[in-house]
Structure 1
Amino acid sequence: MTAPQNPPYGTPDTPLLAVRGEAELEADPDLARIGITVTARGKDRRTTLDDLTRRNTTAVELIKSYGDAVEDLSTGAMSLTPELEPHGRSERVRAYHGRVHLTAELTDFTALGELTTRLADLDLTRVDGPSWTLRPESPVYRRARRQAVRDAVQRAKEYAEALGTTVGALIELADTGTGSALGRPRSDFGRRTRRMSAAAQEIEPTPEPLDLEPQRMRVRAEVSAQFTMVPPTL
């Protein structure tokens, strides 16, 4: 059996050089995600369900009134739960609790604070968020990976130069991690002009909107690389 030309552990004739490449970039988020929980409570099951349906419809119509500013709207879990009397052995229902969870993703952050405030102003409605994110296909990830590879090559060349030799061939390149995290707030958000669709203006007078500061995203990429070197003279 023929031995591999370049064993993974290297040889005196073909020294192995292993390095890591890193990159970290900052970028504005692409999406803001908010969670909306609509609730209803009553002693009668049908009345509770009707109230929940009405409040859910009001929230959905309000979100949809912002048009293209909302990229996605989805309904999550829905529940209608009976609450039994705390005392007694009978299965007597004390009240009914209804809940519907919605998730909205916005691309227009000028409408975000206004929509969030108006949703929070609805009866028995809870708003969570926003959470900021980049699209999975964001070019920022690609730029970070390319920069990490260039960093690995540059490191390999510097180590080889320190030994008075040069890099030979690439043996292996592995992606050891690419991800994003929140960074610092974007400083120009507060100066942007609020915009509102015509349909949204026709509903009710808008409460004072929250000033929500988008967080810049930090995108980090790491690679590990192995190169051969021209044998140095030590």
Structure 2
Amino acid sequence: MSDAPVISVRGEALLEVEPEIARLSVQVQSQERDRRTALDRLVERNQQALDLVKSYGEAVEKLETGGLSITPLVRYRRREGDIRAYQGTVWIRIVVRDFTVLGELVTRLGDLERTAVHGPSWELRRDSPVHAEAARQAAQEAVARARSYADALGCRITGLVHLADENLGRGPEPFDAAPVAYAASAGVMMAAEEEPPPLDLEPETQTVRAAVEARFTATAPDLGRP
């Protein structure tokens, strides 16, 4: 085993960058006294929402259905079989890459009948080069810090013993936002047929953190200096 001195350090990096994607969660509902009618209304409203999202073409990176449910609503909980209505729900998940259409898309979705929109949740892609850049800067910080310690001791680093990625993450975490838009319920007429004005949405800055732990061998320190 080598008797060379070892300098252990921690390198850190923190980058603040603009998000790359925005996630929306859309909830489409129907509620009717008849099960089949509730299902038919749900199919119709779901298709309206999907057609609207698809009309934005490549501005939308991903569109997928998260789930579907048809639930009987009981009038009195103590009496089984007393069903007053059936409620249908479809969850739609959307990833938007072009933020210039995001505000318009949110308001148009929220203008659809019995449709709730949650979000946006601003994010970086998992394979974003920003993560690699943060790791690179953290490693450079570790080398610079080790050299600074070595210089203070009158020695120099000679080799790398260990380098470990301590933590590489992003903040803030996605949140479960309250609906930013909810359309009027059945039976309530819209005030006008024209499109609603788009929301002015400002992308949330993303914080990328990286930290590494490193150990370097060094020459013998000159501890005799005053």
The sequence identity of aligned pairs, in percent, is: 50
1:31 aligned residue (18, 21, 38)? 21
> What's the secondary structure of 1:91's corresponding residue?
coil
Q: CA deviation at 1:87?
A: 5.1
What is the match of residue 72 of structure 1?
A: 62
Cα distance in 2 for partners of 1:104, 1:172 equals: 42
Task: Identify the residue that residue 232 of structure 1 maps to in structure 2.
Answer: 221
Match of 2:181 in 1: none
State the match for 1:169 in structure 2. 159
Return the match for 2:195 from 197, 206, 211. 206
Letter in 2 for 1:178: L
Indicate whether 1:95 and 2:85 are aligned.
yes
Match of 1:187 in 2: none
Q: 1:138-149 maps to which residues of 2 (within 5 A)?
A: 138-149=128-139
- Could you list the per-position Cα deviations for residues 75-129 of structure 1 after superposition, in whole angstroms to 9, with x for gaps in the alignment? 0011001112315534221211110000111111010000000101111100000
Using the alignment, how far apart are the partners of 1:87 and 1:175 within structure 2? 55
1:36–1:127 CA contact under 8 A, matched in 2: yes
1:190 is matched with: none
Offset, 1:26: 1.8
Cα pair distance change 1:164/1:87, threshold 3 Å: closer
Letter of the structure 1 residue corresponding to residue 204 of structure 2: Q
Tell me which residue corresponds to 1:57.
Answer: 47
Alpha carbons 1:25, 1:219 under 8 Å: kept: yes
Q: What is the CA-CA distance between 1:42 and the residue it aligns to?
A: 1.1
1:44 paired residue among 26, 34, 38: 34
Unmatched tracts of structure 1, length 5 or more: 7-12, 184-203
What is the 5 A alignment of 1:173-184?
173-182=163-172
**Partner AA of 1:131 in structure 2:** S
Structure 2 residues not aligned, in runs of 5+: 174-192
Verify the 8 A CA contact 2:69 2:89 in the aligned structure 1: yes
Q: How many residues align?
A: 204
Q: How do 1:218-229 residues align onto structure 2 when only pairs under 5 Å count?
A: 218-229=207-218
Counterparts of 2:10 and 2:133, CA distance in 1: 17
Aligned mates of 2:74, 2:30 — CA distance in 1:
16
**Which residue type is aligned with residue 230 of structure 1?**
T
Query: Contact 1:182/1:215 (CA < 8 Å) preserved in 2?
Result: no
Cα shift at 1:228: 1.2
Counterpart of 1:142, as a letter, is A
Residue 157 of structure 1 aligns with an amino acid whose one-letter code is: R
Q: Is the CA contact (8 Å cut-off) linking 1:175 and 1:223 kept in structure 2? A: yes
Aligned partner letter, 1:19: V
Partner secondary structure for residue 29 of structure 1 = coil
- Give the C-alpha shift of residue 38 in structure 1: 0.3
What is the rounded CA distance, in whole Å, between the counterparts of 2:215 and 2:92 in structure 1? 48
Whole-angstrom distance in 1 between the partners of 2:79 and 2:30: 26
8 Å CA contact 2:76–2:82 kept in 1: the answer is: no
Q: CA RMSD in A?
A: 1.5
Question: Which residue identity does 2:207 align to in structure 1?
Answer: R
**Distance in 2 of aligned mates of 1:21 and 1:229:** 18
Deviations 1:132-166 (A, max 9, x none): 11111111111111111000000000011111111
